[in-house]
Amino acid sequence: MTESVGDLGEFRVIDRITERYRQNTAVIVGPGDDAAVIAAPDGRMVVTTDMLIEGRHFRRDWSTAHDVGRKAAAQNLSDVAAMGARATALTVGLGAPPETPASWVEELADGFRDECAAVGASVAGGDTVRSSEIVISVTAVGDLEGRTPVPRSGARAGDVVALCGRVGWAEAGYRVLSRGFGSPRVFVEAHRVPQVPYDAGPEAADLGATALCEVSDGLLGDLGHVASASAVTVDIDPTALDVPDQMREIAGALGADPLDWVLTGGDDNALVASFPPETALPDRWQVIGTVRDGEPEVLVAGAPYEGGPGGHVHFG
């Protein structure tokens, strides 16, 4: 018989999870106490929280527990990077039905561990509760390492807008899975686990980025936050955006516009930033637009985008 979390009970579940984690030097007090203690050598700490709910953000018939753990970690680690910081630790809250297989929870924990390894972060603590569905809440902390944080509110007229990472890939994978297919695998895997350019966040800060944002709700939607916070107009050049041939083929088969996926699709966790125009950008930063004075809005080729909503709306 498959062992469930109900069979184990809360504290044995916690033991099964925490025994999988090693702590880095930033964790002064880790799992097993009332709270974790994390070093903040910079004197400041970046903090972010995100949630995933089964059926809303992931499906167990589409993604393994390991995939879900990596995705949940990535969504928070990328937010830390989007401030120009390096993530140091996570805490994880897990709600699960008592019949949830213990092996699923262990694989979830392994996913957290493996994604955190990409940035050298630790899982420093958390909590488990009984719930009617699986709910995962993650809080990440990060170290600015002496950098000035890069908020969304600093974009200035004359700046260039540059993108690091992939956009539209997770949306393409979602559309494929929604039709009951499992390939092309590269896009399906992009939906299951994002490929985040974590080190591009601190790099952007070091290069003098004026605004920085993680793209999880769609490029237009997240740039809309930058435009609003900075009180500027952002104009995107759609010809500068990478639309892979295979994505075009998928979209053609589904009667969709692949550019719409690139502009509005979420869950890729790319980074987008504004830079002074004279900035010498590394090759992985692709200039995709400009910033100018005007109403806070995002334009595509100088006009409002007519292809549909600009990104994911959580309460829409």
| pTM, full prediction | 0.92
> Which has the closest alpha carbon to 289: 219, 230, 228, 231?
219
CATH no. for 8-143: 3.30.1330.10
- How far apart CA 282 and CA 250 sit, in angstroms, is 31
Q: Any idea how long the chain is?
A: 316
- Nearest-10 crossing angle of helices 169-178, 185-192: 100
pLDDT tens-digit map of 245-267: 999 999 999 999 999 999 999 99
Q: Is the pLDDT of residue 314 over 70?
A: no
Which residues, other chains included, contact 152 with Cβ-Cβ below 8 Å and sequence gap of 6+? 211, 212, 213, 225, 226, 229, 230
Instruction: Write the pLDDT tens digit of every residue in 114-135.
Output: 999 999 999 999 999 999 999 9
Element (H, E) at 297: strand 297-300
Could you say which of 3.90.650.10, 3.40.50.2000, 3.40.1350.10, 1.50.10.20 is the CATH number of the domain covering 152-300? Answer: 3.90.650.10
- Calpha distance 256→16 (Å, rounded): 45
Q: What are the residues facing 167 on neighbouring strands?
A: none
pLDDT of 17: 77
For residue 311, pLDDT over 90 is answered with: no
| First-to-last C-alpha distance (Å) of the chain | 42
Report d(CA 130, CA 6) in Å as an integer. Answer: 9
Does 152-300 match 8-143 at the fold level?
A: no
Please state the domain extents for the chain.
Answer: 8-143, 152-300
Chain centroid to CA 73: how far?
8
pLDDT tens profile 3-53: 887 877 777 777 787 888 788 899 999 888 889 999 999 999 999 999 999
pLDDT in tens, 140-175: 999 999 999 999 999 999 999 999 999 999 999 999
* Preceding omega of 258 cis (within 30 degrees of 0): no
